Structure 1
Amino acid sequence: MLERYELEAFLTLAEELHFGRTAERLRLSTARVSQTIAKLERRIGVPLFHRTSRRVELSPVGRQLYEETRPAWDRISEAFARAVDAGRGLTGSLRVAFDGPAAGQLLVGVTQAFRARHPDCDVQIREARLPEVLPWLRGGEVDIALTCHPMREDGIVMGPVLVREARMLAVPTGHPFAHRATVSLEDLARVPVLQLPETLPDSLRDDRAPRRTPAGRPIALGPSAMTFTEMLTLVGAGEGVAAVGAHARRYFARPDVTYVPFVDAPPVEWGLVWLAEGATARVRAFGKAALDVAQGPAPAPSP
C-alpha cells in the first residue's frame, strides 16, 4: 500500500521532472525525495523514472502509474479540502493574483462582490507578470489567478472565460501596417513577430514545429521580451510586431506604437485559473462571484 508521502513525492516529481523543484514544492530535502522514490521503485520492482545527469523523465511504467493515480489523488484532495472548508466555513484569507491592468480592474469588481457575500474571508490581491502566474500557483504563493486563457498545464483548472476581447497587432507607428484599417494572420509572414508566445493565437503557438500562418507560410521570430512594456518598447524601436489584446490600446497608449485590429484572429480570452488540488470552497466561491460579475445583472422580467 502506498503511503501518502510516497504518492505525493511521485506525483510531484512526475510533474516537475526535477528533484530540486520537487523538494522545494514539498518542503523536503532533495536527498529525502530521492530516497522516497528509490524506496518506491524497489517496492514496485521497476524504475519509475529514467535519470541522467541532464534530465529526469518518466519510464513507461511510471507514466502509466501517474495517469492512473493522478485523477484519484485530485478527487481525494478536493474532498478533503471541501471537508475542511465545511468545518471552518468561508473564513480565513484568499490570495489572488492578476496579470496586467485590465485584469486588475476586473478583479477589483470581483473582489468587492466576493467580500459582500463573504465578509469573514479576507482577500489579498497581488500583481503578477504572466511568467510568474504558474510558479506562484504551484508554489502556494497565491490560491487563484486572473490571467489570459488558455493555460494548458497538468493539475491546473481553467474556470469559465470571463472576458473576450478583440486581438490587435502592435506595430511601429512608422510601419506601413500602421496606416491600414486592419491586418490578417497572413500578414505575420511579412514581419518579425516578437517572442511572447502567450500573446499569439493558438494556431500559431505550437512550439513543436516552426510557427506558420494558417496558409502555411513561415513566421520569422523577433527578439524575446520578458515583460509587456519591454515588448512594446521593442515594437516601438522597430524590432518587430506583437499580437495583443484590445485593452492595450487603452492601458498602453504610446506615441511610437500603433494598434491595428485583426480581421481573422480569434479573440483574447481571460479567466481564472487555480490548482486542481487547491479547489477549496473559497476558490469556488470566488469563481462564482467572478462569473456573476462578468455576466452582469440578470435582465428584469417582462411585465
Structure 2
Amino acid sequence: MTTVSATMHQAHLQQLECLLTLAEELHFGRTADRLGYSQSRVSQLIATLESRVGARLVERTSRRVGLTRIGAQFVTEVRPAYRSLQRTFDRARERAMRGALAELRIGFTGMVYEEITGTFRALHQQHGVAVHTHDLPLGSPFTALLDGEVDAVIAELPVHEPELTVGFRFPAQDQFVLVHADHGLADRDSLEVEELAGFDLLHRIGDAPHYWKAARTPPATPAGVAILSTAGITSIQQGLALAASGEHAMLVCRPLVEHHARADLRALPVRGLEATSQLGLIWRSDHRTLALTALAELLVDAELN
C-alpha cells in the first residue's frame, strides 16, 4: 500500500464528519453538541485529520473559529463525496430495515412475458428493487432456487416441497396440444383428453420431481389409457422443432400458443384440460423478504387491473 493510500484510509469518517460540521457551525461547542461529542473529542478529531492531511485546516483563536484556505478548499472538495457516501449508507440501512434487496434474481423455465416484465418495472420504480432474470433448465425448475442461486422462480405448478412457498398464483390457463400442420387431426377444432393416447407426447428432461413432470406430460389419460412419450426436451424451442417434425406432439398453455404462432404448427384445445396449467411465483419458505412480498402484491394488482 502506498503512503498516499495509507493516509487516505486513516482519515476516518468521524474526522471528516467533524470537520464538515465545524465548517457549518464555526464553533467547537455547537459542533460537539450536534455530534454528541465532548469539545476535547472534537479538537482531537480535527487535530488527527490535520496530521493526516499534513496541513492546518482550522484557525482557532479566543474570539473566532474559521477554516484556513487549505481547509476551505478541502471541505469544498470532500463534502459532495461524503454526502454521496452518507446517502449510500442511508439507502442500505433502509433496505436492511425493510428486509428488502437492491435486486431480486428471478429464474424462468420459459419465456418472460410482457405482463410479467411490466410488473418488474413497477417493482423497480416503486420500491427501488431491480430484477435480474435467469434462464433455468426446462425440466429443473426448483434446483437453482433450493441451492440459493436465485431468490425466486416463476414456474409451472404444482409445488409440493415443504421448503418452497407459492407467493402468487397466475391465472390458470387452458392446455393445447401442438401438432404438425399436416397432422391428420390438425383440421379439428379441438380434441378430447382421451385422444391424447394417440400421440407421442414430449416430456421435460431434468431433475424435477416426478409429480411435476407427470403434470406436464401425463403418463395416462383420465380413463387410464397409457400415453406414449419417447422423446425428451430441454427447451421450448427444441419442443417446437420436434413437434414441427410431425413425429411428436407437445402439451402447451395458451400464452405459449399466443407467443409462438407458427405456420407449420397447429394448436388444438384439449377438452378436459381447461384451466389446468398455472404458473406460480415460488420462493424458499425460509427466505421470504419484503421485496418478494412487494413483487407478489404488484402481481396481484396487475391481475386486478
What's the counterpart of residue 138 of structure 2?
130
> Structure 2 matches for 1:19-98, cutoff 5 A?
87=97, 89-98=99-108
Q: Partners of 1:123 and 1:243 in 2: how far apart?
A: 29
Q: 1:191 to 1:122 in 2, by over 3 A?
A: closer
What's the counterpart of residue 252 of structure 2?
244
Of structures 1 and 2, the larger Rg is shown by 2
AA aligned to 1:289 is L
Aligned length: 206
Report if the CA contact (8 A) 2:103-2:132 is conserved. Answer: yes
Report if the CA contact (8 A) 1:194-1:242 is conserved. Answer: yes
AA aligned to 1:173 is A
AA aligned to 1:108 is T
Q: 1:128 to 1:151 in 2, by over 3 A?
A: same
Q: Partners of 1:224 and 1:98 in 2: how far apart?
A: 19
> Structure 2 matches for 1:129-278, cutoff 5 A?
129-196=137-204, 205=214, 211-267=219-275, 268-278=277-287
What's the counterpart of residue 59 of structure 1?
none
CA deviations 1:80-124 (Å, max 9, x no partner) are xxxx976355352221223322x43222111122223212x3332
Asked if 1:286 is matched to 2:278, the reply is no
Q: Secondary structure at the match of 1:165?
A: coil
TM-score, scaled to structure 2: 0.61
What's the counterpart of residue 29 of structure 1?
none
Report if the CA contact (8 A) 2:119-2:298 is conserved. Answer: yes
Q: 1:266 to 1:151 in 2, by over 3 A?
A: farther
* Percent identity between the two aligned chains: 24
CA deviations 1:123-181 (Å, max 9, x no partner) are 32333343343122112221112222223223111123222222101011111111100
Q: Partners of 2:226 and 2:139 in 1: how far apart?
A: 26
Q: 1:205 to 1:197 in 2, by over 3 A?
A: farther
CA drift of 1:279 comes to 0.8
Q: Partners of 2:145 and 2:274 in 1: how far apart?
A: 27
What's the counterpart of residue 124 of structure 2?
115
Q: 1:192 to 1:86 in 2, by over 3 A?
A: same
Q: 1:156 to 1:282 in 2, by over 3 A?
A: same
Q: Partners of 2:280 and 2:215 in 1: how far apart?
A: 22
TM-score, scaled to structure 1: 0.61
Q: Mind listing any 5+ residue stretches in structure 1 that lack a counterpart? A: 1-83, 297-303
AA aligned to 2:118 is G
Q: Partners of 2:304 and 2:243 in 1: how far apart?
A: 35
Q: Secondary structure at the match of 2:121?
A: helix
Q: Partners of 1:134 and 1:204 in 2: how far apart?
A: 12
Q: 1:203 to 1:234 in 2, by over 3 A?
A: same
Q: Partners of 2:227 and 2:104 in 1: how far apart?
A: 42
Q: Partners of 1:155 and 1:228 in 2: how far apart?
A: 27
AA aligned to 1:93 is E
Q: 1:109 to 1:190 in 2, by over 3 A?
A: same
Report if the CA contact (8 A) 1:85-1:280 is conserved. Answer: no
Q: Partners of 2:257 and 2:286 in 1: how far apart?
A: 37
AA aligned to 2:145 is L
Q: Partners of 2:263 and 2:153 in 1: how far apart?
A: 31
CA drift of 1:273 comes to 0.6
Q: Secondary structure at the match of 1:192?
A: coil
Q: Mind listing any 5+ residue stretches in structure 2 that lack a counterpart? A: 1-93
